[in-house]
Amino acid sequence: MEEISIGGIRHDMLVEMLSTGFYSNNLTTLRLSSCVSLFDKDRYDFELTSDNSSLIAKHLPQLKVLSIGNCVVLKDGVHIILRECKNLWRLSMARCQGVWLLSKKHERRIEASSKIISVKMEKKLEGTGNVIRLYIDSVERVFNSSEEVLDHLFGSI
C-alpha cells in the first residue's frame, strides 16, 4: 500500500496504526482529514504535535506527501515533519487551526484557518542546500530553510 487517506482520526488511532508496522515499509502518501471531534465541534481529536510528528517520521521513513485537513497543527509538529521526514517533498495543510501568518506590512498576525497552505521541498545540487516553496492560496514564496518557513507560518512580529 503506497497511499492511505484517513478521516476522523484520533491520536490513539494513529499510535495504534503506526506501531503495528503494517504501513511503514511502502507508504509514501498519508492524508489525514476531518479531525474535529464528533462530540464537540469546537474540539479536535487529532493535533499535529511534536509527539505525533515524531511517530510519523519514525514509522513512515518513505513518506513523500503528508496532507492534513481540518486538523490542528502546531509549530513543533511541523518543524519535526520538515526536519525528520527525509523523503518528504510536499506538506499540505488545508483549513487547519494553529497557523498564524505574519503580515509584516500591517505588523500583525493573521489567523489562517481558512487558507490552503502547501510546502514543497526541492533538492538543490549536492552541497548547496534546499529550496522550499510555500504556497498560500496559490501565492508562492521561496525560502532557503525550514526555519524561515516556520517563522513565516508561526512566528511573531
Say which amino acid occupies 106: H
Q: Which residue matches cell numbers 511541523?
A: 78
pLDDT value of position 104: 59
Q: What angle in degrees, to the nearest 10, is found between the helix axes of 75-84 and 50-59?
A: 20
pLDDT value of position 157: 45
pLDDT value of position 15: 75
Q: How far apart are CA 102 and CA 91, in angstroms?
A: 19
Rounded to the nearest integer, the mean pLDDT of the chain is 78
Query: Is the whole model's pTM more than 0.95, yes or no?
Result: no
* Span 8-62, pLDDT tens digits: 776 677 778 777 766 666 889 999 887 655 555 556 667 788 988 998 999 898 9
